Amino acid sequence: MSESISRCTDAELAEQLLRACLRGETWSREAVRELAARAADDGAASRALFGILVEGLSDRFEPRLADAYAELFSEVIATVMPEYTVEELLSRYRWVRRTRRFEGDASRMEKVCVLSRVTLGSDIAVTSLMLDAAKRRFPRAQVCLVGGDKSCELFEADPRVRPLPLDYSRRETLRTRLALSFGLHALLARPASLVVDPDSRLTQLGLTPVCSADNYYFFESRSYGSGSDASLKELTRRWLGETFDIPDAQAYIAPSEQAAPGGEPYIAASLGVGGNLTKRIADPFEEELLRALAATGLALWVDTGPGGDEAERVRRAIVRCGAPAGQLRAFEGSFAAFASLIARSRLYVGYDSAGQHAAAACGVPLVCVFAGFPCARFLARWRPGGAGPIEVVPVENPDPATVLEDTLRAVGRILRRSAS
Counting Cβ atoms within 10 Å, is residue 346 exposed (0-12), middle (13-18) or buried (19+)?
middle
pTM over 0.85: yes
| Each residue's pLDDT expressed in tens, for the chain with a length of 420 residues | 676 898 999 999 999 999 999 999 999 999 999 999 999 999 999 999 999 999 999 999 999 999 999 999 999 999 999 999 999 999 999 999 999 999 999 999 999 999 999 999 999 999 999 999 999 999 999 999 999 999 999 999 999 999 999 988 888 999 999 999 999 999 999 999 999 999 999 999 999 999 999 999 999 999 999 999 999 999 999 999 999 999 999 999 999 988 878 789 999 999 999 889 999 999 999 999 999 999 999 999 999 988 888 899 999 999 999 998 889 999 999 999 999 999 999 999 999 999 999 999 999 999 999 999 999 999 999 999 999 999 999 999 999 999 999 999 999 999 998 776
**What pLDDT digit, counting tens, does each position of 211-221 carry?**
999 999 999 99
What DSSP designation does 283 have?
A: T
- Computed on alpha carbons and rounded to an integer, the radius of gyration of the chain in Å comes to 22
Residues in the chain: 420
- The confidence score (pLDDT) of residue 363 equals 97
- The confidence score (pLDDT) of residue 1 equals 61
Domains 106-244 and 266-419 are alike in CATH topology: yes
**What pLDDT digit, counting tens, does each position of 58-96 carry?**
999 999 999 999 999 999 999 999 999 999 999 999 999
The whole-angstrom separation of Cα 132 and Cα 368 is 25
CATH fold group of domain 266-419: Rossmann fold (3.40.50)
Task: Let me know the angle formed at the C-alpha of 219 by 82 and 104, rounded to the nearest 5 degrees.
Answer: 100
Domain range annotation of the chain: 3-96, 106-244, 266-419
The whole-angstrom separation of Cα 5 and Cα 253 is 47
One-character DSSP codes across 223-241:
TTTTTS---HHHHHHHHHH
Helix (H, G, I), strand (E, B) or coil at 268: strand
Distance of CA 404 to the CA centre of its chain: 26
The string over 376-407, giving b where at least 16 C-beta atoms fall within 10 Å of a residue's C-beta and e elsewhere, is ebbbbbbbbbbebbbbbbebeeeeeeebbebb
Query: Which architecture characterizes domain 106-244 according to CATH?
Result: 3-Layer(aba) Sandwich (3.40)
Encoded amino acid at 124, one letter? I
**What pLDDT digit, counting tens, does each position of 34-67 carry?**
999 999 999 999 999 999 999 999 999 999 999 9
